[in-house]
Structure 1
Amino acid sequence: MMTKNADKKREQMMMFSMDDMVPQNHMLRLIDKAINWNFIYDLVEEKYCPDNGRPSMDPVMLIKIPFIQYLYGIKSMRQTMKEIEVNVAYRWFLGLDMLDPIPHFSTFGKNYTRR
């Protein structure tokens, strides 16, 4: 069967749940279920000012992104960010929806040196 109009599907608008897009047995889903990430907020609370400065990034996300990089053997943070941009499971794990912006890769170099 020859399909000439395959490109038209790219413009389709669909409603979907990201939770439904990530298989129940996906490694990141199992890890997320096994680890309660809330302890990170207590560890970094004194590093964040509640009433001054720019809006902060979620510290749990700052931990989970290098976690993804290590688990999947991605060689650089720049490449990790490119992968997160298009991978639904990575976005689900980080708590990002499909339209949320991805942190800039340089954030992690600064984060490593400052903290």
Structure 2
Amino acid sequence: MTKKLVNERKQMAILTIEQLNPQDHLVRKLDAALDFSFIYPLVENLYSVEKFSIVCSKK
């Protein structure tokens, strides 16, 4: 391998979701039109803050 190829492999690109999604994308339109905040109280007991994972409770 040449030195030039080795250096090119170490290059990184940092992108945000905002840069990857076009402005007229369906997901952006849905996000602007719908309010999903009601979901958080419904599912908060399913997540563990200590372990950052889903807690499976048997009822």
TM-score relative to the length of structure 1 = 0.31
| Alignment-derived partner of residue 13 in structure 2 | 14
Output the CA distance in 1 between the equivalents of 2:41 and 2:30.
20
Cα displacement (A) at 1:18: 2.3
| Alignment-derived partner of residue 37 in structure 2 | 38
Tell me which structure has the larger Cα radius of gyration: 2
| Structure 2 residue 23 is matched with structure 1 residue 24 | yes
Deviation digits for residues 11-51 of structure 1 (CA, Å, limit 9, x no counterpart): 33123332111101111111122222211012233x33766
| Alignment-derived partner of residue 48 in structure 1 | 46
Larger RCO (CA under 8 A, 6+ residues apart): 1
CA root-mean-square deviation: 3.3
Q: 5+ unaligned residues in a row in structure 2: which ranges? A: none
Aligned partner letter, 1:34: A
More helix as a share of residues: 1
More strand as a share of residues: 2
The structure-2 alpha-carbon separation of the partners of 1:51 and 1:23, relative to structure 1 and needing over 3 Å to count, comes to closer
Output the CA distance in 2 between the equivalents of 1:33 and 1:18.
15
Q: How many residues align?
A: 49
Q: 5+ unaligned residues in a row in structure 1: which ranges? A: 1-7, 58-109
